[in-house]
Each structure stands twice: as C-alpha cells, then as structure tokens.
Amino acid sequence: MRALFVIDVQNDFTEGGSLAVAGGAAVAAGITGYLRAHARDYDAVFASRDWHDAANDNGGHFATDAAPDFVTTWPSHCVAGTPGAEYHPALDASLIDINVRKGQGKPAYSIFEGTTDDGSTVEQKLSELGVTDVDIVGIATDYCVRASAIDALHSHRRVRVLTDLIAGVAPDSSAAALTELRLAGATVVAANGE
C-alpha cells in the first residue's frame, strides 16, 4: 500500500505569503497535475498544514521578542483560520483524502507531529491502511519535507522524495537535506523517474 504526503502547500509558504518559498506556487500546480495523472498509484493522499495559534508564540516558534533567526524562530505564519493557513489555490484539495494539522501551539515540522481531522495520528492512519511505501512532495525541502521524510523512514517505511514537486527555502540547505535523506535510505528521484 502506497501513500502520498503533500507537505504544507499553503498560501503563507508560497509567493506572496509571510514565509514565501520561491517556486511554491509552481509546486502546488505540479502536485495537482501529478495527482490527476497518478491517482491510481496511491491508496491514500495525506496533506499537512501548519495550523498555528494566533494568541501565543507557539512554543517559541514565532519570533516575538527579537528578529526571527529563520532556523528555529520564524515570523508569524499559517495562523489557524487565516487565508495564509489555507491550501494554495493551485492545489486541488478535492484530491486529498486525509487532512493533517500540525503546530497548534508548538513547533512542528514533520507531518507525523500532526493530527487528522478525527484526532488520529498519522502513524495510526498509516498502520490502519497498511501503508508500506510513502512518496513525499511539497514545501519546504529543507524543513518540513525533510522532517517528514526522516520520520517516515524511522517508521520503517520505504520513502521516495519527488524532487520536481518540492521547493526549498535555500539552495544549499535543500541540497544538504536531499543528501541526508539519500544517506538515510530514501529514494530521491523526479516524479517522472528521471
């Protein structure tokens, strides 16, 4: 059984958002096209969203007393219920089977740190479905895509990161993340296999 993880394809992480990643909108559109062409390849499509609290610093995740360091502290982003937290409009949300919200008052990078709409963990859902293989796409290569892939590997599943359907914060850290994932056992390949 194979699942697709669509990581954080949200307005705040795409062009014009509070933590915009270059190429984010193109990734959103690319994922939609890929899913329409490959829906039968997946038994379930999971999509994560940062879903941070508005009234606090989310466990130090939001920089409030100093400028963000863009490593562990960030500008306010993906606040629950705001347009910035919504899926990018180029991502066809009707293709998503399981929505996952992460953050919610604390730092959270991996999809495994979130919960589904019914309160389940991602691990619980994967186990219920008998998922053995996970493909990963989305934003950002060097943060939430990386963390989600590492956790998927730690859950003893086969993992592929589809390089033409991801976008990263910075070229160097994105390249380092992909190298780390290869060394950890992930397959890092374009969606078309090239």
Active site members: 8, 102, 144
Distance CA 143, CA 110 (A): 8
Tokens (6 digits) for 85: 């937290």
Helix (H) or strand (E) holding 44: strand 44-51
DSSP H or E stretch at residue 2: strand 2-7
d(CA 172, CA 42): 31
> What is the distance between the alpha carbons of residues 34 and 52, in angstroms, rounded to a whole number?
28
* Residues whose CB falls within 8 Å of the CB of residue 3, separated by 6 or more in sequence, listed in order: 42, 43, 44, 45, 46, 126, 129, 131, 133, 134, 135
Cβ pair 79, 57 in contact under 8 A: no
